[in-house]
Every structure is written in C-alpha cells, then in structure tokens.
Homo-oligomer: A and B are copies of this chain.
Amino acid sequence: MTVDIDLKKTVDTSYKIYIDALPALTFDKKVAVVTNPTVSGLHLDYLLERLEAPAVEVITLPDGEQYKNWESIETVLGALFEARFNRSSLLIAFGGGVIGDMTGFAASIFQRGIDFIQIPTTLLSQVDASVGGKTGINNRYGKNLVGAFHQPIAVYADPHFLATLPPREFAAGVAEIVKMAVTFDADFFAWLETADLSKPEQLAEAVARSVKTKAAVVAQDEKERGLRAALNYGHTFGHVIENETNYTTYLHGETVAIGMVMANRLAVALGLMEATEAERVEQLLQRYGLPVRYAIADVDAFYEAFFLDKKSGDNSITFILPQHLGGVEMRSDIPREAVMDILRTFTEAAQ
C-alpha cells in the first residue's frame, strides 16, 4: 500500500534590502536584538531610538568568530525561552556576519523557525552575509558545517554604521565586493579600479551593485547546487587559512583576499586568466590594504584540509576559478600536482 504525501507548493521568501538610513521600525510582537559588545557600545542607542515593540530583549554575545558555536546559540535560545518568546516573535541580527549567521540559525531552529531581520553593521555583512539566507555555526571539523538556509524577512543596510568601522574591517568588505566583480561583472570591476569608496555615494553604489549581483545568483540557485558555489571564489583557499590560523589572525574578508590571489594563480597556470588580469586584481586588493600573501607551513597538510571543507565531494575538490575578469568556472578535475605547484609558490621559501 502506498500513500502519496504531496507538499508541492509555492514558497514566497522574497524580501527587500534597504540601502539607506534606518527608518522607524514598529512591531506588534516581542523582539530580541542579538548583538555583541562592540556594536552595542557604538550603536545600540541608535537602533533602540528607532525600534518600537511590546517587549525588546537585548541578547549580547561575545565578539568574534571563535564564539560562532553551539554555546552561543544556546545562549540565544535560553534567553528567548526565559523571556517566553513564541512562534510569532521576531529576532533582529544587529552586527556583522558572525552575528547574522548565528541569529539566523537560532531563528531557524527556535520552535522550528521564526522570522528574523538583518541590520548588518559591517561592510562585509552588508554586501555579502545579508543576501542568501545561509546561516550557521563552526565546529571542530570546520567552518559553517552546521546550519540552515533561512531567509530574513528584510535587511536594512544603513551607511551610518560604516563610519565607525576600523580600516581593516572596511577593507575586508571591499574584498567581497571585488570577489563579486571579478566573477560576474567586468564593467563593475573596471568601475572599482577608478572608484573612491571613501565617498558615501560611491560606496552605496558599490554595495547596491554587489547585492544585486549576489541576489541574481542566489535567486537562480538558493540551495547551492550549482551556480551559487561560484560565490565561494577565494573561499576554498581562504577557509583553510582561517582554520590554520584559528580564526584569530585574519578577518574573513582578508582570507578571501589571499584566497582569490591563490585561485587566480591557479587560473593563470591553467590558462583561464591572463597574468595581467591577476595582477590587476592583486593591485586593487592592495590599494585597500588587503593581504595578498600567506606563508604555508606544510603544503601537504594545506591540501588535505580541502577535503574537510564542506564544499568538497568525496574524492574531489571543486575549485572556483575566474575566467578572465567577469567570468567564472567551477573545476573538479584539477590534478593534485597542479594545485600543489601553486601552493608551493606560497611557502615562506618561495616568497
């Protein structure tokens, strides 16, 4: 006997990203703002002045990628249960990508899923983490290995918050903007080479173009079965660097910058990209003070670490490589030796 369960249906997870000064936000439900001490110290008053709800809880998590773990999720969930939040309550992620990932994950599993809003306060999270619905935490096996796809109901990217960003954090955001341009939009890349992102209008323009590009990719492939993987350009190498340095030496965007330089060198070796194009990317990254070198201590260990990364299949690694500027290729057929040759150019001795 067979019973058919038919749950085919149309799901509307559309939402808007507002690149503008934060408007007044009024809700008729309990709201919890999840943030960290740094963002809270600088900007919590600014947010609370604009936020109205029957109850507002502020949940403060320790600052840093090393706290992006299950303990922090339990802190959030515990606070919600203590304050008797329910299925119609709302979370607001108020911080950078780490806060966004954890708040989104907590929202996705609290009572099997509640709504959340993102108010990203870093350039990186405004251009990258706020689009796509990826949420999650790290564990001892690697980065973002546990999580969910859970879309926010709205994103407010207010330029106000970027004024207080330390230069390194600003640059880390630029790395993701460059990533988007290199892989999907040659015109945008050329525009970036002459733009001045310290000017508010040009910065807003860059944020909007990045977000639109990413949104178009995610809309085609929400669950990352194909095209969306292209957004991991620079990340395959970058994740290994983050793991090796325990998430403490570099900001995420900085490892992406180094990772892009590594991927480009592999692309040049495979004839996908001109050496001059790779050079232009490196110069743009350096203009914003981003790191483009990393001394690999043990190339074999570095290579092995790819296989623990979740983007890997059983016996192959997919490399995301630029195809000149504005194009991208995903390759799972690259021989170990070809990759090792590139890794060896990043050892202390070679540089």
Q: Once bound together, how far apart are the Cα atoms of A7 and B110, in whole Å?
A: 23
Q: Assess A14 versus B19: contact at CB under 8 Å? Given A109-B148, A113-B223, A139-B77.
A: no
Shortest CB-to-CB span from A235 to chain B, Å, is 15
Q: Are B4 and A86 in contact (CB under 8 A)?
A: no
Give per-residue flags for A16-31: 1 if the beta carbon is below 8 A from chain B beta carbons, else 0. 1111100000000010
A3 touches B211 (CB 8 A): yes
Q: Is the CB of A6 within 8 A of B314?
A: no
Nearest Cβ on chain B to A318's Cβ, whole angstroms? 11
Contacting residues, chain B, for A70 (C-beta < 8 A): 70, 74
Q: How many copies does the complex hold?
A: 2
Which residue of chain B has the shortest Cβ distance to A142 in the bound complex?
A: B81
Please determine whether A148 and B145 come into contact, CB atoms closer than 8 angstroms.
no
Asked if B109 and A218 sit within 8 Å, CB to CB, the answer is no
Cβ contacts A156-180/B at 8 Å (1 or 0 each): 0000000000000000000000000
Give the residues from 130 to 166 in chain A that come closer than 8 angstroms, CB to CB, to chain B: 131, 133-136, 139, 141, 144-149, 151, 155
Residue A194 CB within 8 A of the other chain: no
Distance in angstroms from A322 CB to nearest chain B CB is 24
Residue A88 lies at the interface, judged by CB distance under 8 Å to chain B = yes
* Interface size class of chain A, counting residues whose CB lies under 8 Å from the partner chain: 35 or more
**Would you give the 0/1 interface string for A273-314, flagging 1 where the beta carbon is closer than 8 Å to chain B?**
000000000000000000000000000000000011010111
Partner of A13, one of B7, B144, B148, B215: B7
The complex places the Cα of A88 from the Cα of B225 at a distance, in Å, of: 10
Q: Which residue from chain B places its CB closest to the CB of A55 in the assembled complex?
A: B314
Residue of B nearest to A135 (CB): B112
Q: Is the CB of A314 within 8 A of B86?
A: yes
A5 at the interface (CB under 8 A from B): yes
**In the assembled complex, A66 has its CB within 8 A of some CB on chain B:** no
Contact (Cβ within 8 A) B112 A147: yes
Interfacial chain B residues near A223, Cβ < 8 Å: 112-113
